[in-house]
Amino acid sequence: MISIFEAQQVILEKVAPLPSEEVDLLHGLGRIISEEIVACWDLPSVDNSAMDGYAFSHKALQSNFMNVIGFLPAGTERTVPIPPGEAIKIMTGAPLPAGCDTVVPIEDVEALGDGIRLKSDVKAGAHVRRRGENVRAGARVIAAGTELSPLQIGLLASLGSTGISVHRRPKVAIIATGDELVEVGSVPDGATIVNSNSNSIATQVLEAGAEPVLLGIARDTREATREKILRGLDADVVITTGGVSVGDKDHVKEVIQELSAELLFWKVNVKPGKPTAFAMLGGKPFFGLPGNPVAAMIAFEQFVRPALLKMMGHLSVFRPVVKATSSDAFKNIGDRPHLLLCRVAMADGKHIVSISAAQGSANLVTIAQANGLIELPPGASIAPGTEADVTLLTRNFAMRSVCQ
């Protein structure tokens, strides 16, 4: 049976970044830029004052007193040069007028009649932001493949970009399978359960930055399964949950084979998530996830999320891993690597982790409290006080001392 790592490799070899689209600057947040950005002008575009103060020519300084001959707020430009030995009051960001090369901050002068007296020596060129000192026109400022955060959006805005080219977000068709399923809003009776997978998988898709397309429930017949999967092929990626094992009512494998899928794997050596399939179907990635809700979500994390990120142009597609000290004991008595749901927090500047004993693949309560995963090989155990590698499923953590 294929390992987690091999399965990820197979998937990532098959999927490729989607073509680009143009979006306006605000919608660039979190997207991957598909073009290199070159500065179209210098930043700053002119020499300007870094402080509220007085601008003057340092080399024309005769004494520590200067007449002040005007006022220059930010957003105004003075074309008439400042005569040698005189100063102009200038606000932060205002362009330095001709005849000036230095600014003295307001707090370093004393007002004296129509002028100012320098309280101490001022260095030539002080408190001036030089044209092009941050970036020169023509310099490369953002590499293609960069994930845009507010930091890059600000730079793009200052360079006059209104729109940017980013990789398209995949549309991801989500199909639940099962005669026992009812949609959210219905009260399950003895024989039915609520279709939770469509909701959890759709939000995992959203969280990854892609677009879910909910196709509802396929009943457990070949025809219904086939009809939904064919509709799913209008999207960029197709995901099914359930119907992927060897039960009499499991039609997913049969249907995609009928549709001439290139079946790349059908089972993965992992718990939970063993019945996970990956195929290329009509040139599109197809993921057959397990029906058990926890297994489906963990399989999404391991196999679908990296694929979606690659399709969106991300160069880094895996979650961060940290070392954390366990407060619990756990032994993998099974014969497959076990992905354990756990909860990570910070204490005294270090990561600590607790591992729930309830790791059942249908236990939605455990997963709802988890924010990390630990991979434990067969036979391996974790003892309280020992360190484990934890994959972080969220970016933010409670600091125990502050929040608990």
Rounded to a whole number of angstroms, the minimum distance from the CB of residue 178 to Mg ion is 4
Closest-CA residue to 198 (of 189, 185, 282): 185
Contact flag: residue 227 with ligand AMP (CB under 6 A): no
Stretch that binds ligand AMP, among 105-113, 175-183, 297-305, 391-399 (CB under 6 A): 175-183
Q: 28 or 293, CB closer to ligand AMP? A: 293
Q: 64 or 196, CB closer to ligand AMP? A: 196
E strand segments, 51-162: 53-56, 65-72, 86-90, 102-105, 109-112, 115-118, 128-129, 140-142
Pick from 64, 67, 196, 354: which binds ligand AMP (CB under 6 A)? 196
Closest-CA residue to 39 (of 136, 146, 133): 136
Rounded to a whole number of angstroms, the minimum distance from the CB of residue 324 to ligand AMP is 30
Contact flag: residue 245 with ligand AMP (CB under 6 A): yes
Contact flag: residue 329 with ligand AMP (CB under 6 A): no
For the chain, the first-to-last Cα distance in angstroms comes to: 43
Contact flag: residue 197 with ligand AMP (CB under 6 A): yes
Q: 196 or 325, CB closer to ligand AMP? A: 196
Only one residue has tokens 């979006």, namely 23
Q: Give the H or E element holding residue 389.
A: strand 387-392
The CB density around residue 186, as the number of other CB atoms within 10 Å, is 11
Rounded to a whole number of angstroms, the minimum distance from the CB of residue 246 to Mg ion is 11
Q: 142 or 176, CB closer to ligand AMP? A: 176
Closest-CA residue to 326 (of 374, 363, 368): 374
Q: 84 or 247, CB closer to ligand AMP? A: 247
Q: 56 or 286, CB closer to ligand AMP? A: 286
**C-alpha span between 360 and 366 (Å, rounded):** 8
Q: 52 or 250, CB closer to ligand AMP? A: 250
Name which of ligand AMP, Mg ion, none residue 241 binds, using a CB cut-off of 5 to 8 Å depending on partner kind.
Answer: ligand AMP
C-beta contacts of 178-183 below 8 A and 24+ residues apart: 178/217, 178/219, 178/220, 178/242, 178/243, 178/291, 179/219, 179/220, 179/249, 181/217, 183/216, 183/217
Main-chain dihedrals φ then ψ at residue 343, nearest 5 degrees: -125, 120
Pick from 170, 209, 242, 372: which binds ligand AMP (CB under 6 A)? 242
Closest-CA residue to 306 (of 75, 88, 7, 1): 7
Pairing of strands 193-194, 262-265: unpaired
Tokens of 270: 């992992």
Q: Is the CB of residue 291 less than 8 Å from the CB of residue 243?
A: yes
Q: 291 or 293, CB closer to Mg ion? A: 291
Contact flag: residue 225 with ligand AMP (CB under 6 A): no
263-292 positions binding ligand AMP, by CB under 6 A: 290-292
CA-CA distances (angstroms) from residue 266 to 155, 241, 283? 46, 13, 18
Name which of Mg ion, ligand AMP, none residue 57 binds, using a CB cut-off of 5 to 8 Å depending on partner kind.
Answer: none
Rounded to a whole number of angstroms, the minimum distance from the CB of residue 25 to ligand AMP is 38
Contact flag: residue 212 with ligand AMP (CB under 6 A): no
Binding mask 54-93 for ligand AMP (x = CB under 6 A): ----------------------------------------
Contact flag: residue 332 with ligand AMP (CB under 6 A): no
Contact flag: residue 372 with ligand AMP (CB under 6 A): no
Query: Which residues in this chain contact Mg ion in the complex, by CB under 5 A?
Result: 178, 242-243, 291
Prior bond to 97 cis, omega within 30?
no
Contact flag: residue 95 with ligand AMP (CB under 6 A): no
- The string of DSSP letters for 236-283 reads SEEEEES--SSSTT--HHHHHHHTT-EEEES-BS-BS--S-EEEEETT
Pairing of strands 193-194, 277-281: unpaired
Contact flag: residue 243 with ligand AMP (CB under 6 A): yes
Contact flag: residue 247 with ligand AMP (CB under 6 A): yes
Binding site for ligand AMP (CB under 6 A): 176-178, 180-181, 193, 195-198, 241-245, 247, 290-293
